[in-house]
Amino acid sequence: VAPDAKEAARGNVVAAAKSKAYGKREIVIRCNGLGTAWGKADVAAIATSGADAILVPKVESATDVAAVVALLDAAGAPAAMAVWAMMETLKGMLRAEEIAGSHPRLGLFVMGTNDLVKDMRARHTPMRLPMITALGIGMLAARAHGLAILDGVYNDIQDAEGFKAVCRQGVEMGFDGKTLIHPGQVEPCNEIFAP
């Protein structure tokens, strides 16, 4: 969302979550980072939106999780509202175990593979070899602390076979699911990740 549209977008997404028009689906709203002009207001708005969880970008420490939890509590978030952490920075990955055990509200890691590849100065490859270490560290930390974990996005929406191969790799590695960037990825992802 463009900077001049962020406040309107916040109102729209909170209204959509409060509408309960999505049936029996888990609703998660991503906030802007706490270091941005919109982050703290986003967290406060999401706290009472009726969403099931808040997705926090660029989590780098247990302190980051504690700051989000404190803002949620101050804004009156229900105790059941979970925190999901985007694991997408090098510092965050090196502190994955600390983050995973940081707070009972933390329920899930989302691997931010695009930002990790960029920060590593690596490349997206079919086998994702540059990402294997980060994916494995995220998996180990999540599982050691009883968290769920979602694999990162697949950018080439035209490459259906490549997408399926990465989904199969995610299942083999133990991921619970995958983040998606196009509606055409939903069905094949569900087929591969279905138990």
**Predicted pLDDT of residue 141:** 98
**Predicted pLDDT of residue 94:** 98
Contact 176, 138 (CB under 8 A): no
**Predicted pLDDT of residue 110:** 98
Amino acid at 153: V
What whole-number distance in Å separates Cα of residue 149 and Cα of residue 29? 17
Portion of the chain with pLDDT greater than 70, in percent:
99
Mean pLDDT calculated for residue range 26-43 = 96
**Predicted pLDDT of residue 180:** 96
Q: Residue 195: is its pLDDT beyond 80?
A: no
**In 10 A of CB 6, how many CB atoms?**
16
Portion of the chain with pLDDT greater than 90, in percent:
96
pLDDT tier for residue 85 given thresholds of 50, 70 and 90: very high
Q: How far is CA 189 from the centre of its chain?
A: 17
pLDDT tier for residue 83 given thresholds of 50, 70 and 90: very high
**Predicted pLDDT of residue 90:** 98
Structure-derived torsion over alpha carbons of residues 41, 82, 94, 193, reported in degrees to the nearest 10: -120
Q: Residue 34: is its pLDDT beyond 90?
A: yes
Residues near 112 by beta carbon (within 8 Å), at least 6 away in sequence: 57, 58, 86, 87, 88, 89, 152
Amino acid at 179: T
pLDDT tier for residue 142 given thresholds of 50, 70 and 90: very high
Mean pLDDT calculated for residue range 160-172 = 97
DSSP summary character for residue 30: E
Question: Could you give the residue ranges of the DSSP H alpha helices within the chain?
Answer: 6-18, 39-47, 62-74, 90-94, 96-100, 113-120, 132-144, 160-173, 186-193
Mean pLDDT calculated for residue range 134-147 = 98
Q: Residue 18: is its pLDDT beyond 90?
A: yes
What whole-number distance in Å separates Cα of residue 107 and Cα of residue 123? 29
Contact 99, 65 (CB under 8 A): yes
pLDDT tier for residue 6 given thresholds of 50, 70 and 90: very high
How confident is the prediction for the chain on average, in pLDDT?
Answer: 96
What angle separates helix 39-47 from helix 6-18, to the nearest 10 degrees?
Answer: 10
Q: CB burial class (10 A; 0-12, 13-18, 19+) of residue 148?
A: middle
